[in-house]
Chains A and B, each alone.
Chain A
Amino acid sequence: MVTAAACKKYNPGNNPGKGGINLGSGDIGVLNYAYALEQLEAAFYMKVVASPFKNMTDMEKAYLTDIRDHEIAHREFFKAALSTKAIPSLQVDFSAVDFSDRTSVLGTAKAFEDLGVSAYNGAGKLITNPDYLTLAGKIVSVEARHAAWIRDMITPNSFADSTVVDSNGLDTERDPEEVLSIAGAFLKTKVDASNLPTD
């Protein structure tokens, strides 16, 4: 399981709240937080498409290429929109992923997409500018579409199962600290979220 691998690799000494690249504060900090996650996702899918797992079907290849392009578009959008306030490029660490193995790749993709959805869902309330909130909304539903398809590729009809949707029909939401503690397992660069708003 990728999440298990993530937990194993997570080093509590690498506290994302202390040291590393500072995301900044206010709305800019939240946008940089999204930019960090999009960098991670884009880098992952670039590698997935560049080194396809064994027996990747034409449809899988086409859709994973679409997803790669969406994540690159998200990454480049944040980079352009943040301009001089953008954090630098992050170094990733995918040593826990076996890119030749469908289960490893799709399991990691599922973890990233569900994590991304929960991150945007949890970050909405941290945003003060309604235009930025709408922009985040434009991206999160696309991440949810990715998540649904990847989940269905792993297990049919798991697109919105009870591991991500609660008994009120609500998707998962996570705060930045929790998200970065999970994502941090795949990042060589430390990310410091300590100046982000908390409500």
Chain B
Amino acid sequence: MNLQNILSEIEQTDPEVYDRLDTRRSAMKTFVKTSGKIALASIPFALGSMFQKAYASPTAPTDLILDTLNFALTLEYLESNFYIKAVASGMAPSADAMNALTIIRDHENEHVSFLKSAISAAGGTPVSFTASNFDFTAKGTFPNVFSDWGTMLAVAQTFEDTGVRAYKGQAPNLISNNDYLTAALQIHSVEARHAAHIREMRKAANLLVPSGVEVKPWITLDQSGIATSAVQASYNGEENVTQAGVTITNIGGQQISAAAASEAFDEPLTKDQIVAIVTPFFA
């Protein structure tokens, strides 16, 4: 499945999504068209449903929340399927490394289960993906993803850092619901813990490129420490040193380098940016 189909996937689970976005004018057109074809007795029913569609709030918070949760679930499926394969590959060079992958895999599986339940409880239909929906070589960019340890960790780092940016970007969509917002934040910080750990593993294993690049548990400027520029979209913007109009470098007369200023704040990405980043990983 192509990830660009995610929107149509959501439409399938929420068939009225376009109706809700319909203008009153087009709803009237639809009614006129429909009424020509249906028996007179059906009209009151058709009229009722047309009004329901035409006058329902087009940005009902529930729809936005369900769409956002399903987007999060899609990303969790991606991560969960990735770590299931990573653990099964037997590539981990040590018991500690294997243990770390297993811990992260289990969390991603838990996130999938949690989000599925949350979406169902909110009256939505969770999206569903299986192993065959993914291509972790990213169309050949990472041909050795499950046979080369360094490649596997590079992809893992990218997924985790991207996941953090995705949840950060989506959080405002959940602001109207305390429970979902809090849960999303609770997943967000777990992804950040994972990201930090994977970054530690890459540094400890001397897997950083080019030489001299900074890869610490936190993101320095827009550096990934990964050979291919294919992952750069996941790091672009992280070099930001201005927050809410305030310059963080040397703020308040303190000696804060641009590197530290960029590390101190992680940056969000929009849904479109995230979709563009992860699309190659969908079969």
**Is the Cβ of A144 less than 8 Å from the Cβ of B251?**
no
Q: If the complex has contacts A133-B172, A142-B218, are A152 and B190 also in contact, measured as CB distance less than 8 A?
A: no
**Is the Cβ of A134 less than 8 Å from the Cβ of B168?**
yes
Bound together, the chains give a CA A138 to CA B172 distance in angstroms of 12
A190 on the interface (CB 8 Å rule)? no
CB contact between B189 and one of A125, A156, A171 (< 8 Å): that residue: A171
B135 shortest CB reach to chain A, Å? 25
Which residues of A have CB within 8 Å of B100? 157, 159
Bound together, the chains give a CA A194 to CA B130 distance in angstroms of 49
Number of interface residues of A (CB under 8 A): 53
Number of interface residues of B (CB under 8 A): 59
**Is the Cβ of B185 less than 8 Å from the Cβ of A145?**
no
CB contact between B256 and one of A72, A79, A124, A146 (< 8 Å): that residue: A72
A65 shortest CB reach to chain B, Å? 9
A94 on the interface (CB 8 Å rule)? no
Which residues of A have CB within 8 Å of B195? 145
**Is the Cβ of A66 less than 8 Å from the Cβ of B263?**
yes
In the complex, which residues 155-199 of chain A have their Cβ closer than 8 Å to any Cβ of chain B?
A: 156-157, 159-161, 165, 167-173, 199
Q: If the complex has contacts A141-B168, A144-B196, A148-B197, are A173 and B251 also in contact, measured as CB distance less than 8 A?
A: no
Q: If the complex has contacts A145-B196, A159-B193, are A139 and B246 also in contact, measured as CB distance less than 8 A?
A: no
Bound together, the chains give a CA A161 to CA B252 distance in angstroms of 37
B114 on the interface (CB 8 Å rule)? yes
Bound together, the chains give a CA A131 to CA B268 distance in angstroms of 11
**Is the Cβ of B182 less than 8 Å from the Cβ of A125?**
yes
CB contact between A73 and one of B175, B244, B251 (< 8 Å): that residue: B251
**Is the Cβ of A77 less than 8 Å from the Cβ of B188?**
no
Which residues of A have CB within 8 Å of B111? 168-169
**Is the Cβ of B194 less than 8 Å from the Cβ of A173?**
no
B192 on the interface (CB 8 Å rule)? yes
A34 on the interface (CB 8 Å rule)? no
Q: If the complex has contacts A135-B243, A137-B268, A157-B99, are A168 and B114 also in contact, measured as CB distance less than 8 A?
A: yes
Name B's A-contacting residues (CB within 8 A): 96, 99-100, 103-104, 106-111, 113-114, 164, 167-169, 171-172, 175, 178, 181-183, 185-197, 200, 216-218, 243-244, 246, 248, 251-252, 254-257, 260-261, 263-268
Ordered by A's residue number, 20 sampled pairs between the chains whose C-beta atoms are within 8 Å are: A73-B254, A80-B252, A120-B185, A121-B185, A121-B186, A125-B182, A135-B244, A140-B189, A140-B192, A146-B196, A152-B200, A159-B103, A160-B104, A167-B110, A168-B114, A169-B107, A169-B109, A170-B183, A170-B190, A173-B182
